[in-house]
Chains A and B, each alone.
Chain A
Amino acid sequence: QKEVEQNSGPLSVPEGAIASLNCTYSDRGSQSFFWYRQYSGKSPELIMFIYSNGDKEDGRFTAQLNKASQYVSLLIRDSQPSDSATYLCAVNRNYGGSQGNLIFGKGTKLSVKP
């Protein structure tokens, strides 16, 4: 089992709809969780990070974390064609004060249709 699992998609939603992206992780020691957006051939861009159970909102984006279920999600409200990209979920295993590193899921490809 891969440490970070995502549906590869593609996930297709109409413009203006809510896109829901999901991610599960296997290591209960994971401390922090990140969502990156990556356009084809470009570098990943940090959208949101979350550490605590519950919801965190930033503009059209809401990250949700449930550590008991080892589940993190990203909601994109009022989806725009420019949101079409691959969304990478990443998890930090930060043990004992070390810097750790991010483990990425394979990403979910989102397509927003005009």
Chain B
Amino acid sequence: AAGVIQSPRHLIKEKRETATLKCYPIPRHDTVYWYQQGPGQDPQFLISFYEKMQSDKGSIPDRFSAQQFSDYHSELNMSSLELGDSALYFCASSLRQVYGYTFGSGTRLTVV
């Protein structure tokens, strides 16, 4: 079965650089979510999109932005990177959220 695809799997950036993370949801899933998980922390909700429109916003810094495109893939853009942005970034998708999410494998971002 198709899963949620995230790219890249690993990313190393320097402070103040920009990073773009990509997410391809499961076909026909209508909602995409982005989460950030620091070491030893629970996943923190960043932002979600339902049918290509932003549906909810969590603790996403102003330096970050995201969008969902016509083919339903989503991108998380992160600018002016800080050391504290180093984390695992998960994308998840769902069909009618009540059934729970399916997570992608994540992108490990390291800011040096």
Main secondary structure, interface of A, reads loop
A71–chain B nearest beta-carbon distance, Å: 18
Of the candidate stretches A52-60, A73-81, A99-107, the one touching chain B is A99-107
CB proximity to A under 8 Å, residues B60-112: 88, 90, 94, 96-106, 108
**Chain B residue at smallest Cβ distance from A90:** B100
Chain B residues with Cβ under 8 A from A88's Cβ? 42-43
Most buried by B among A31, A100, A106, A107: A100
A98 at the interface (CB under 8 A from B): yes
Chain B residues with Cβ under 8 A from A34's Cβ? 100
A43 contacts B90, CB within 8 Å?
yes
Most buried by B among A44, A98, A101: A101
A104 contacts B43, CB within 8 Å?
yes
Contact of A101 among B45, B90, B98, B108 (CB under 8 A): B45
Q: Interface size bucket, B side?
A: 20 to 34
A99 and B99 contact, Cβ closer than 8 Å, known pairs A44-B90, A105-B42: no
Q: How far is the CA of A42 from the CA of B105 in the complex (A)?
A: 7
**Chain B residue at smallest Cβ distance from A34:** B100
Contact of B58 among A43, A90, A99, A101 (CB under 8 A): A101
CB proximity to B under 8 Å, residues A11-41: 31-32, 34, 41
Contact of A106 among B31, B42, B50 (CB under 8 A): B42
Chain B residues with Cβ under 8 A from A44's Cβ? 43, 90, 103
Q: How far is the CA of A88 from the CA of B43 in the complex (A)?
A: 9
Chain A residues proximal to chain B, CB less than 8 Å: 31-32, 34, 41-46, 49, 51, 88, 90, 92, 94, 98-107
Chain B residues proximal to chain A, CB less than 8 Å: 31, 33, 41-45, 48, 50, 55-56, 58, 88, 90, 94, 96-106, 108
Besides the known contacts A88-B42, A88-B43, A98-B50, 12 further A-B residue pairs in the complex with CB atoms under 8 A apart = A32-B98, A44-B103, A45-B103, A46-B100, A46-B101, A92-B98, A94-B97, A99-B31, A99-B48, A104-B42, A104-B43, A107-B42
